[in-house]
C-alpha cells in the first residue's frame, strides 16, 4: 500500500502491487530522458492531455526505481498493467502531482 504523504503511488504490474515514488534523482533523470525544459513543462503536458506513451513509461519507470523496485524499460513496455493504458497514465500523472504537492487533509 502506498503512502500519499510521502509521494507514493501504487500500480499493479504483472499481477504484483508496486509502490512508486519520484525521488529528486528520478526527477532529474526524467528531465534529461524526456528532453523537457523543466518539470513544469512535463506537468503541463499531463494537465493539457498532450503527454505520450513514452512520457507515461518514463514516469512509471522512474517511480519504480524511486520506490525500490526497478524494472528494465523493455520489461515495463511489455508488462501487464492492471487497468490498462488509462490506469498507467493516471498513475503517472498522480506521481508527478504528488512529487510537488502534499495531499489534502481528509
List residues bridging with 20 in a β-sheet.
Answer: 9
What stretches of 1-106 show up as alpha helix (H) in DSSP? 24-33, 39-48, 53-66, 73-78, 84-100
pTM: 0.86
Q: Does residue 102 carry a pLDDT above 90?
A: no
Determine the Cα–Cα distance for residues 23 and 9; give it in Å rounded to an integer: 12
- What pLDDT, on a 0 to 100 scale, did the predictor assign at position 48? 85
Per-residue burial over 50-84, b if 16 or more Cβ lie within 10 Å, else e, is ebeeebbbbbbbbbbbbbeeebeeeebeebebeee
pLDDT digits (tens, 9 = 90+) for 63-91: 999 999 999 999 999 999 999 999 999 99
User: How do residues 6-36 score in pLDDT, each as one tens digit?
Assistant: 889 999 999 999 999 998 888 888 888 888 7
Residue 77 makes CB contacts below 8 A (sequence gap 6+) with 57
Q: Answer whether 18's CB lies under 8 Å from 64's CB.
A: yes
Amino acid at each position: 500500500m502506498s503512502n500519499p504523504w510521502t509521494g507514493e503511488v501504487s500500480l499493479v504490474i504483472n499481477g504484483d502491487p508496486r509502490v512508486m515514488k519520484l525521488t529528486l534523482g528520478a526527477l532529474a533523470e526524467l528531465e534529461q530522458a524526456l528532453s523537457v525544459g523543466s518539470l513544469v513543462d512535463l506537468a503541463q503536458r499531463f494537465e493539457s492531455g498532450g503527454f505520450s506513451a513514452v512520457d507515461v513509461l518514463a514516469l512509471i519507470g522512474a517511480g519504480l526505481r524511486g520506490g525500490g523496485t526497478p524494472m528494465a524499460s523493455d520489461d515495463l513496455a511489455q508488462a501487464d498493467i492492471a487497468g490498462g493504458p488509462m490506469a498507467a497514465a493516471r498513475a503517472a500523472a498522480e506521481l508527478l502531482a504528488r512529487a510537488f504537492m502534499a495531499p489534502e487533509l481528509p
